[in-house]
Structure 1
Amino acid sequence: MAARERAKELRRQIDSGQDPLQEKRERREAPTVEDIAKDYLERHAAKLKSGKTVREYINRDVLPLWGKWKAADVRRRDVIELVERKAQNTPIAGNMLLGVVRGLFNWAIEKDLLEQNPAFKVKPPAPKNSRDRWLNEQEIRQFWLKLDTARMAPECRAALRLILCTAQRSGEVLSAELTEIDTDRAWWLIPAAKAKNGLQHDVPLASLALGEVQKLLGVGRWLVPRRYTSKDAHTTVAGLSNAHAANQEHFGLPRFTPHDLRRTAATHMTKTCGVSRFIVGQVLNHVEKGVTAVYDRHSYDSEKKAALEKWDRELRPILGVPTKAKLVEMAG
């Protein structure tokens, strides 16, 4: 009976102008998620500054589950379940994974490989950061001290402290190369190709920051090398975020992210150190807008150095670390 019904269905399809065999061939030849991901990573993501992070999310979270699926078979429900599962332990990583999946399928649509994006209108699994979280003095001290016993690689501990001391972006700290750091002069050069705004940025290293850099100096290319890999690679933003998120309970503080450490430094520089917002913007390497900015090519190196040294002097008593003047006094 079943065979007879299938035969009738085939006859109906043929009579209506359909080609069942052609549909089967098209189904067989339709790209899998793995096929699309391979092209996307090679032809598009490799050109992005966030390309390494995108590749990590796809290889770790997407392909093990969906790799062999036909890309057209991925449904909205599948996306929701994937990102919600990711967000259970690391909420922000769930949001980032959603962005990666959405970008992958948008690219496939642009290349006429798919017709629909299963991530379309899927809401982020975690609330977006309000962008106003910063740590007060007590929280800074607790975070710094708890880092010593946090379950993460020593390189990640130093990277988090560097973000707080220098107010630089996570990705820029993690991708720093040893050749870009002059410990004798206490300066760190962020090349234009690595800076988020595409502008070269010189970062003065005050004493606390320089101390963390010196802990990381070693053999190899990267300041913060990636462990447990045969490749010459640095720790990724996702890797640092995951290490930080895994220790949220250990820190014993209201939830915050590595990026909030950058905001913490900027806030304290204006709030307690008396540094102007304009100079803090230079420390952060924010892009100015307006006609004046086009003509003003002053690097503000001396102003940035003064600002970060003020922050260093403010930070030391918060952490219970003697100031340089106190150290000289104690040595005498």
Structure 2
Amino acid sequence: MAVGKITKRSVEAIEVPAKGTPRDYLWDTTLKGFGVMVTDGGVRSYLVQYRIGGRAGKTRRYTIGQHGSPWTADKARDRAAEVLEEVRRKIDPFDAERDRIAADQDRKREEEEARHALTRLAFSKFADTFVDRYAKIQQPKTWKDTDSVVRRDLKPFFKDKPLPAIRPADVIELIDTVQERGDGAALKAYKALRSLFGFAIDKHHITTSPMANIKPPAKMGVRDRTLDDEELRLVWIAAEELGWPFCPIVRLLILLGQRRDETAGLVWPEIDKAKRQWLLPAERSKNGKPNLVHFSEPAFAIVQGLPVIKSKAKLLFTTTGETPVSGFSKVKKRLDDAILALMQKEARQAGVAPEEVDKLAVKPWTFHDLRRTLATGCQKLGIKLEVTEGILNHKSGTRSGIVGVYQVYDYQNEKRDALEVWGTHVLAIVNRASTANVVSLAARAS
């Protein structure tokens, strides 16, 4: 049994014992109990020899690891010093190692369980469970409506995001997005989401709901928000800041009065450029009725200026080539910021006092309000109600019942003339001097 300073050189200098002979050892002269063992197979391993309980205690050897990477002589010496310190404190290194292994196994098991839990609580998967185990049972007459909201609005938005990771800000963004289609749709999404999180709490999957302090959106009812001429002018001009593809979408919404998603989902086969017409098919229409829409001169100029994206989908407005553009809540926020910046700029140019400029604000509005603005504008321009309803593809009033089936081509001349008049009116508003209007807005803000 040799003794000496354990170094890289001294460890590698130990001769390998002959086959079948006892192992050879080198014990360190500077750290008592620290040694290196060499087998007849040439394996060199660092170890610590110790005894707990005085002379009566049994001598034990704790293996640190084989010589090489990562155990160099210096690293092994440091680990040996740690082990001997544990021995001094009456801690058996074997027990400590067993505890460390057990703790590591517990940690890995907990991490694995957490991963499984997050997979199980991925929103899309849990939403299906919610429909099957809650909505179908607790809402036997209306569960299909809930399922429709889940599939159309909730799952595409949250995707596989785990329930515990969903924050109140995420919920608000979803509701704002859906509310662009209308207050009724937003309220339905709110109720479905509230029930879903309540179900998750009942099943002890989460402890709190991200909807706890979120008030419901405006309740369903008659909506009457329209934009006045000055607001319409600001929206048109500020849309330029959005660039492609959202600027042309916003301006077409103003000029044509069609629904946002129907416009965003436009495909080239629906357009007859020779006739300057857009035939919206029933399968893409919200009310299941086709609609023939005339492109006024300014609207057709927008369409003519659009790039043609080569894809099987043949969409006018797409960033992927396969699906229509989305993310309108963020677009609306950008547009409102651009509108406010424009208002402030024009107010300063008009000589409005700085304190009044600071008071300017954009009155809340939605893209759906542009539809109502066209309807109200047409009424002011003397256009008949049935013609306006034809433009908007309403199935109520004069277009309800079986007659509505045959009216897709009715009033085409009147609808064409009305949209031309409206387009001319919009451009006149846009080109109107803004000074007086800005001063009026500033006065209103104060």
Report the alpha carbon displacement of residue 313 of structure 1 after superposing the two structures with TM: 2.3
Instruction: Pick from 307, 318, 327 the counterpart of residue 429 of structure 2.
Output: 318
Instruction: Pick from 387, 391, 397 the counterpart of residue 283 of structure 1.
Output: 391
Instruction: Pick from 157, 166, 171 the counterpart of residue 83 of structure 1.
Output: 171
Instruction: Pick from 125, 136, 142 the counterpart of residue 234 of structure 2.
Output: 142
Alignment of structure 1 residues 157-172 onto 2, 5 Å: 157-172=247-262
Match of 1:257 in 2: 366
Report the alpha carbon displacement of residue 32 of structure 1 after superposing the two structures with TM: 2.1
Max Rg structure: 2
- The superposition leaves residues 190-219 of structure 1 with CA deviations (integer Å, 9 ceiling, x where unpaired) of 110110110111111111111111222402
Match of 2:59 in 1: none
- The superposition leaves residues 28-56 of structure 1 with CA deviations (integer Å, 9 ceiling, x where unpaired) of 79952432246789xx89x9699565444
Alignment of structure 1 residues 29-68 onto 2, 5 Å: 31-34=120-123, 35-37=125-127, 53-59=153-159, 63-64=160-161, 67=162
**Are 1:103 and 2:212 counterparts?**
no
In 2 relative to 1, CA 240–153 (structure 1 residues): closer, same or farther, beyond 3 Å?
farther
State the aligned residue count.
269
Match of 1:308 in 2: 419
Distance 1:32 1:303 in 2: 55
Secondary structure of the structure 2 residue equivalent to 1:287: coil
Distance 1:142 1:29 in 2: 46
The structure in which a higher percent of residues are strand is 2
Distance 1:88 1:294 in 2: 35
The root-mean-square deviation of aligned C-alpha atoms, in Å, is 4.4
**Are 1:222 and 2:312 counterparts?**
no
- The superposition leaves residues 281-325 of structure 1 with CA deviations (integer Å, 9 ceiling, x where unpaired) of 11100113589732462332222112212212222222229xxxx
Match of 2:104 in 1: none
Gaps in structure 1 of 5+ consecutive residues: 1-23, 322-332
- The superposition leaves residues 215-246 of structure 1 with CA deviations (integer Å, 9 ceiling, x where unpaired) of 22402311111x2x4x611112xx12320222
In 2 relative to 1, CA 168–30 (structure 1 residues): closer, same or farther, beyond 3 Å?
closer
Q: Write the letter of the residue equivalent to 1:251.
A: I
Q: Write the letter of the residue equivalent to 1:180.
A: E
TM-score, length-scaled by structure 1:
0.65
Report the alpha carbon displacement of residue 144 of structure 1 after superposing the two structures with TM: 1.5
Gaps in structure 2 of 5+ consecutive residues: 1-112, 132-143, 341-361, 433-446
**Are 1:294 and 2:402 counterparts?**
yes
Instruction: Pick from 220, 223, 240 the counterpart of residue 328 of structure 2.
Output: 240
Match of 2:8 in 1: none
Structure with the bigger RCO (C-alpha within 8 Å, sep 6+) is 1
Distance 1:268 1:291 in 2: 20
Secondary structure of the structure 2 residue equivalent to 1:193: helix
Please say which of residues 277-286 and 162-171 is displaced more in the overlay.
277-286
Distance 1:269 1:50 in 2: 37
Distance 1:89 1:106 in 2: 19
CA contact (8 A) 1:177 1:222 kept: yes
In 2 relative to 1, CA 115–178 (structure 1 residues): closer, same or farther, beyond 3 Å?
farther
Secondary structure of the structure 2 residue equivalent to 1:197: coil
Report the alpha carbon displacement of residue 107 of structure 1 after superposing the two structures with TM: 7.9
CA contact (8 A) 1:87 1:126 kept: no
CA contact (8 A) 1:188 1:203 kept: yes
Q: Write the letter of the residue equivalent to 2:192.
A: G
Q: Write the letter of the residue equivalent to 2:226.
A: W
- The superposition leaves residues 118-173 of structure 1 with CA deviations (integer Å, 9 ceiling, x where unpaired) of 6699632678897222222222222212222x2x3411010000010001000110
Match of 1:330 in 2: none
Identity of aligned residues (%): 23
Q: Write the letter of the residue equivalent to 2:383.
A: V
